[in-house]
Chain A
Amino acid sequence: NAGVTQTPKFQVLKTGQSMTLQCAQDMNHEYMSWYRQDPGMGLRLIHYSVGAGITDQGEVPNGYNVSRSTTEDFPLRLLSAAPSQTSVYFCASRPSLGTEAFFGQGTRLTVV
Chain B
Amino acid sequence: DAKTTQPTSMDCAEGRAANLPCNHSTISGNEYVYWYRQIHSQGPQYIIHGLKNNETNEMASLIITEDRKSSTLILPHATLRDTAVYYCIVRALNSGYALNFGKGTSLLVTP
Contact = CB atoms under 8 A, between A and B. Distances in A.
Given A104-B43, A105-B42, A43 B94 contact: no
Interface in A60-87: none
Interface residues of A, number: 24
Nearest to B93: A98
Contacts of B94: 97-98
Contacts of B36: 101
Interface in B3-53: 32, 34, 36, 41-46, 49
Contacts, number: 54
Contact of A103 (B34, B41, B43, B100): B43
Interface in B53-111: 87, 93-95, 97-104
Interface residues of B, number: 22
Contact of A42 (B41, B45, B102): B102
A45 B97 contact: yes
Given A43-B44, A90-B43, A106-B41, A101 B49 contact: no
Main secondary structure of the interface of A (DSSP, over half): strand
A101 B38 CA distance: 13
A50 to B, nearest CB: 8
Nearest to B97: A48
B101 A43 contact: yes
A98 B94 CA distance: 7
Interface of B: 32, 34, 36, 41-46, 49, 87, 93-95, 97-104
23 contacts: A4-B43, A33-B97, A42-B100, A42-B101, A42-B103, A43-B44, A43-B101, A48-B98, A59-B98, A88-B41, A90-B44, A92-B43, A92-B44, A92-B99, A98-B32, A100-B46, A101-B36, A101-B46, A102-B46, A103-B44, A103-B45, A105-B43, A106-B42
Interface of A: 4, 31, 33, 41-43, 45, 48, 50, 56, 58-59, 88, 90, 92, 97-98, 100-106
